[in-house]
Structure 1
Amino acid sequence: MWNERYASEEYMYGTEPNAFLAEHAAMLKGPVLSLAEGEGRNAVFLASLGLEVLGVDSSDVGLDKAQALAGKKGVKIQTEVADLAEFEPQENHYAAVVSIFAHLPGSIRRRLYPLVEKSLKPGGIFLLEAYTEEQLPRKTGGPKDLDMLMSKAKIEQDFANYEPVLLRVLEREVQEGQLHTGLASVIQFIGRKKA
């Protein structure tokens, strides 16, 4: 499905970074792991700040576009084609992990997030923005599956071992390419791995 979605020459979610990520990027140090990186807009942005970034995605088509975008912007990123249902990040390696609209079924989250926690160095940052369950009836982006949408309760459960720096649910205008456009209900989370 994602290879089909990314097959167009156009960048489906645009080439600018996610606004929440850009707002808090100063908190991040490298190396950074970006989950479900897609066409590279966030990895390329982080690389432009001088951070080492690995973008992981199941779509080789998306990651090819990510590398093309990096070349166009004159930065280097690493990419890895991987199914997040099977991906195993390197332990105690990353200073930050970002998850921008990386909506996963609960069964995959329960497997992946503990591995991500192990991949973070002590004091490392996990930064996430996702659509909330309230987004389900809207036509402004996000999956049409309640299990894949997030809530405060899901965040608190999935990231119980982190020190919360920020956790909020809000409505905001999302303008990211043609597929994330309009007023949306989102959850934003920044957690620090306890030392």
Structure 2
Amino acid sequence: MLLEIPQHPQLTTTQFKKAYKNNITVIDTRNKEDYGKGILPAFDISENGKKKATRLSEQSHVTIDYKVTEALDFKSNRGFDVIGLIYTHFPSKIRQQTFEYLQQFLKVGGTIIFEGFSKAQLGNASGGPKDKKMLFSIEEIKMEFPEIEFNLLKEEVIELSEGNYHCGTASVIRFVGIKKT
């Protein structure tokens, strides 16, 4: 999913800022003054993802312009200050191309926030792709995001509680970085 101002799946705004050592500004989308016009673009390939995002945005009094589309079909005439790539797993044959395409929407100096399942996730019952090539390693992240200066890049074990199919121990890669060029 791509969001101009992402909601982190595990942390409140305060926890998120603390976890990332206040290296970035986190905009609390519950306050419309924080995000200008109040319409956040987002996309995902899942109709169910759209339903969940719509429900959450309504609860938070946030308006989203949510498209169900393939990543390489996403269009926007604007650049973004912040892009969130949360559990964006692509087939290996299009992964590099997709990440390059999505990074073009991030302004120079903009922040990218990423969380995805690591290769160590295989064998965990908490969700994620079963194809190891769709999972991430730190080395792959560095290669696939060459224009990003990482403020935080780590692999860690977390506890997911995101519904019936994403619950339990999970191994993830998280990063926060700034677009250099």
Q: Same fold (TM over 0.5)?
A: yes
CA distance in 2, matches of 1:21, 1:189: 17
Inter-CA distance 21–151: structure 2 relative to 1 (3 Å threshold) = farther
The answer to whether the Cα contact below 8 Å between 1:54 and 1:79 also exists between their aligned partners in 2 is yes
For residues 105-141 of structure 1, give each alpha carbon's deviation from its aligned partner in whole angstroms, at most 9, with x where no partner exists.
1222212111222111110111111111111111122
Work out whether 1:109 is the aligned partner of 2:95.
Answer: yes
Q: Find the counterpart in structure 1 of residue 9 from structure 2.
A: 18
The 10-residue stretch of structure 1 (113-122 or 50-59) with the greater mean CA deviation from structure 2 = 50-59
CA RMSD of aligned residues (A): 2.5
Distance, in Å, in 2 between the alignment partners of 1:29 and 1:170 is: 21
d(CA) in 1 for partners of 2:151, 2:12: 14
In structure 2, runs of 5+ residues without a counterpart are 1-6
2:69 corresponding residue in structure 1 = 82
1:48 aligned to 25, 30, 55, which one?
A: 30
What is the SS of the residue equivalent to 1:192?
A: strand
Which amino acid in 1 is paired with 2:56?
L
Report deviation, 1:71: 2.5
Task: Describe the SS at the equivalent of 1:128.
Answer: strand
TM norm structure 1: 0.73
Q: Would the aligned equivalents of 2:160 and 2:166 in 1 still touch at CA under 8 Å?
A: yes
Query: In the aligned structure 1, how far is the partner of 2:57 from the partner of 2:164?
Result: 21
Q: Give the AA of the match of 1:170.
A: E
Query: In 2 relative to 1, CA 28–96 (structure 1 residues): closer, same or farther, beyond 3 Å?
Result: farther
Greater than 6 Å deviation, 4+ residue runs:
none
1:20–1:148: structure 2 CA closer, same or farther, 3 Å change rule? farther
Equivalent in the alignment of 2:118: 132
Instruction: Report the counterpart of residue 143 of structure 1 in structure 2.
Output: 129
Contact 1:172 1:185 in 2 (8 A): yes
Over the matched positions of the two proteins, sequence identity in percent amounts to: 29
Count of residue correspondences: 164
- Judged with a 3 Å threshold, the aligned counterparts in structure 2 of structure 1 residues 68 and 169 are, in CA distance, closer, same or farther, namely closer
Q: Say if 1:19 and 1:95 are closer, same or farther in 2 by CA, change over 3 A.
A: same
Tell whether the 8 Å contact from 1:167 to 1:187 is kept in structure 2 after alignment: yes
2:162 counterpart (176, 185, 190): 176
Within 2, Cα distance between the matches of 1:176 and 1:120? 27
Q: After alignment, is 119-128 or 174-183 more displaced?
A: 174-183
TM-score when scaled to structure 2?
A: 0.78
